[in-house]
Chains A and B, each alone.
Chain A
Amino acid sequence: MKMKKLGALALTTTLVFGSVLTGCGGKDKGTTADGKKNLSVFIFANDHESPIYKGMIEKYKEAHSDTIGNIDVQITTQEEYSKTLTGMMTAKELPDVFYVGPESVQQFVENGYIENIQPILTELGISTDDLVAQEALNSYRYDGSKVGTGDLYALPKDASVFAYAYNKDLFDKEGIPYPDPENPYTYDEFVEVCKQFTKDTDGDGEIDQWGCGLANQFMIQQYIWSNGATFLSDDYRTVTIDTPEFKEAFQKFIDLTLVHQVTPTVEQDVSLGVYQRWLAGQEAFYACGTWDVAAFMDKETFPFNWDLCGYPTLSTGKSMTWLGTVGFCVSASSPNKKEATELISYLCANEDGQKELSGIVGGQSIQLPNLKSLAEGEFLTAIEDGSLPFPESVDVFFSYLGGTGNYEGRFQETTYTPNAEWFDIFFKNVDNVKNGSMTVDDFIADVQPQMQESLDTAWESIE
């Protein structure tokens, strides 16, 4: 009896200690024993991007095996990224390379977390001229007081565009000519076209097909900006939603649901989101971001023919939308800044990597290529010959990105404020206006002071 117990105890102890020890990892240091440099990278990536980035980093390591020792790559989900990064900042143990969004550049620099890579780029002879998205690049510049000019603190991982799209099959069914990518509809034209789609197709008395579906938070800015209005003043300190241009644009946005009724109602939206209705072919128009392309081209996910187009224009005549980007930066406390800068330049601009991410290789496009040479060359030829499934009007993306023709893209106004809380306040209750229980004027009067207060607190918190 006693032996059995002892045996059990011994086994348990071994098991437990074994687990604890196996559960231990090692700690990487900045330099290996033979003088090679070690780097640590911390980014977020989804299931699809993750192997591509890991592969790129592996290739980089091999190509530089005489100077680089080990590259430790940690990838997490986008939702958890900032919390973990905050933890690292608080612990003052940042990896050599991590992500920064344009909205955080000022604070990261002012608090001494990221390094000015301009001198290093010059020293290494790396030029950023071949990058397509110069505006995205500039959002990583800081001159000590303003973002947008000055030295570079990060290199863009990508520049994304949130364009508009339409369901070709639905257009064919209703016998309506496709929108012209060079001439986006005006608001009134758009309403007329949408009306022709909105109907009850199966005769059960309920409308089940609509012109478009509007995801408030992502689609309102297109209307506001195209009407010459903005949420904030030029210095981003004052909430300017009470201007007549803003109210007019907002009203027009709301009217699509309330007056012209070309979108699902608020209640219908709660039942089944506008996004899912698009996937089910119930809406003629919906949005498509550069990251959506692979999914929308997949017949299993979206079994319809579709193409890109522009958002409707309001008084300025320009079709506008918002752009997005995130950048690779170098930790200010990194022991290997030069090597880190070289690495991020590679991640941003390496041809093979860009080919995979943009789909030139592999056929799954999740971002536009960063390099002009690719974007104007192989990318377009791959689309033309069909090896890269992509909507025909790919130029819409580039037009928004470059601000050419009737198109213009800009960053969301939250990019320039310490946090986005003031913006969230606006959207939390937009549905109250959409379902008619509040007028635009009442809503704005109600929400503006709250937004201003939140914005003031935000600016205060960093002063």
Chain B
Amino acid sequence: MADRYEKVSHFLYGGKCMSGGKAVSKKKMNKAEFREHCWGLAFVSPAFIGFLIFMAFPIAFAFFASLTKWNGMNSMTDNFVGLNNYIKLLGDDKFWKVLLNTVIYMIGIPIGMILGLVIAVGMNRKIKGIKFLRTLYYVPVVSSLVAVAILWMWVFNYDYGLLNSIVKMISGQHGPNWLGDEFWVKISMIIFMVWKGLGSSIILYLSGLQGIPRDYYEAAKIDGASGWNLFRDITVPLVSPVTFYLLITGLIGGFQVFVEVLVMVPSGGLNYSAATVVFYLYEKAFSSNQMGYGSAMAFILAIFIFIVTAINFKGQDKWVKTIE
């Protein structure tokens, strides 16, 4: 178990041999190792070839575009500007603003994970009708965004929305401007996004929970462990691979949030308070026809994502456990 993760940090530190033992990249392989190497490579080749065909050219194209003043209509080569777009981007206040918004939205990730795990544990029990209940939790994930957005805009409506009606009933005061206020719009979006993604976290955690042998729980109960102990010391650590997956995909996806904003707050919010990086990117590329600039934004974003992901990969030794 340990060496896999060490191999990742091994790669990240540029080939220095950090793990004890298996220095595959330095020695020459023997026949058996070579055979395994070939088969291993062969098995991942479809994915790799797919990447080469469908992503390599587009990424290269997009990168070149980011070095030009391409607007979708003119010639890229005639409008080469080098790193100008990048420099402009670093000085663009709006960019940093939407980047901050994007990061703030990520608070939803741990919220979604915790809720997801707790609910999954509850759903893992053999209760009559639980199958039906589980299906219901999945509805937000499969619902069309258009219909869902109409609903939630009503929920958040300042005058007669569901939330503010409840607030008025309970406290007699007028509720906040959920979608119009610079602060509250962020809260609303987080609520919306957690709600929409909960079903997927639950399913994935349910899947992960299946891998935990019952005997562990039995043994611990015999030792007198409480429900909370069972949860904290067995469940949580043993679903950590799923948690790690959710964290990484959550971060990668979270940095690229776009459609939800487009649908709930099409203007990007008052003073751009709800817009995300990809939202801004879309506007620049397709409304303002500044595709080169938009591409540059995409690459800077990708760099951020990569750094954050790499940090997490490195840190996973500390908390991602597996069953021996």
Q: Which A residues lie at the B interface, using CB under 8 A? A: 82-83, 86, 89-90, 104, 107-108, 111, 113, 267-268, 270-272, 418-421, 424, 428-429, 431, 454, 457-458, 460-462
Contacts and interface: CB of A to CB of B under 8 A. Distances in A.
B69 A461 contact: yes
Contact of B74 (A107, A267, A419): A107
A93 to B, nearest CB: 15
Contacts of A457: 290
B263 to A, nearest CB: 13
B272 A418 contact: no
Nearest to A429: B271
B288 A458 contact: yes
* Chain A residues touching B, majority SS: helix
Nearest to A206: B159
A421 B288 contact: yes
Interface in B242-286: 267-268, 270-272, 286
Contacts, number: 64
Nearest to B74: A111
B104 to A, nearest CB: 20
Given A107-B71, A267-B159, A458-B288, 6 more contacts: A86-B291, A270-B177, A419-B289, A429-B271, A461-B69, A461-B289
A461 B71 contact: yes
Nearest to A270: B180
Contacts of A428: 267-268, 271-272
Interface of B: 69, 71-75, 79, 157-160, 177, 179-180, 267-268, 270-272, 286-291
A419 B73 contact: no
B284 to A, nearest CB: 8
B71 A90 contact: no
B160 A107 contact: no
Given A270-B177, A428-B267, A419 B72 contact: no
Contacts of A462: 71, 74
A272 B159 contact: yes
Contacts of A419: 71, 287-290
A271 B288 contact: no
Contacts of B271: 428-429
B90 to A, nearest CB: 16
Contacts of B286: 82-83
Contacts of A89: 72-73
B260 to A, nearest CB: 17
A11 B79 CA distance: 54
A90 B272 contact: no
A366 B288 CA distance: 29
Given A418-B71, A431-B270, A270 B179 contact: yes
B320 to A, nearest CB: 36
A267 B175 CA distance: 13
22 contacts: A86-B73, A86-B291, A113-B73, A267-B158, A267-B177, A270-B180, A271-B158, A272-B159, A419-B71, A420-B287, A420-B288, A421-B288, A424-B287, A428-B271, A429-B270, A431-B270, A454-B288, A458-B288, A461-B69, A461-B71, A461-B289, A462-B71
Contacts of A461: 69, 71, 74, 79, 289-290
Nearest to B174: A267
Which among A107, A272, A460, A461 has the highest number of chain B CB atoms within 10 Å? A461
